[in-house]
């Protein structure tokens, strides 16, 4: 099988939009990360890449539960599905680096997405593989 870059795309929202629509859950994640001596970008890398080497099994379980609660609160507030992508610019040379907050259910704007369309940005990047 040949190796090369291929395109990726997502509809991105700003972190402030995630915080606004799931404030309690977002704040709980920040407190937990501080307790574990990590930052939000670490959290986004763990979730997006299913990579937990920095954490104990118990910590990973806690983080996964908090992420699910964040997704549920965001879904309830916006009607959109929240997920995380993580991109390492050093590996691929693209314009952005780190974690991004993404939403599903917006390719053809649903009524929920139409209400917040000014908060949604489509982004693309390449992946080597």
Instruction: Name the residue ranges covered by the structural domains of the chain.
Output: 5-128
Q: Is 120 strand, coil or helix?
A: strand
What strands, in cross-sheet order, belong to the sheet with 81-87?
81-87, 98-104, 5-13, 120-128
Beta bridge partners of 86: 99
Run means of pLDDT, 10 residues per run, the chain, 129 residues: 66 95 98 95 92 90 96 97 85 71 88 92 75
Look at residue 108 in the predicted model and tell me its pLDDT. Answer: 83
CA distances from 119 to 12, 50, 63, 111, 124 (A): 8, 27, 26, 14, 17
- Residue 114: partners with Cβ closer than 8 Å, 6 or more residues away: none
């Amino acid at each position: 099988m040949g190796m090369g870059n291929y395109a990726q795309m997502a509809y991105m929202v700003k972190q402030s939009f995630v915080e606004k629509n799931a404030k309690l859950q977002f704040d709980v994640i920040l407190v937990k990360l501080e307790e574990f001596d990590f930052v939000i970008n670490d959290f986004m890398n763990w979730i997006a890449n299913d990579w937990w080497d920095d954490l104990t099994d118990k910590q990973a379980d806690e983080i996964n539960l908090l992420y699910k609660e964040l997704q549920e609160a965001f879904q309830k507030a916006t009607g959109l599905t929240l997920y995380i992508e993580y991109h390492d610019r050093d590996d691929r040379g693209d314009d952005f680096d780190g974690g991004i907050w993404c939403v599903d259910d917006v390719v053809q704007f649903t009524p929920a997405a139409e209400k917040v369309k000014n908060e949604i940005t489509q982004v693309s990047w390449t992946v080597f593989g």
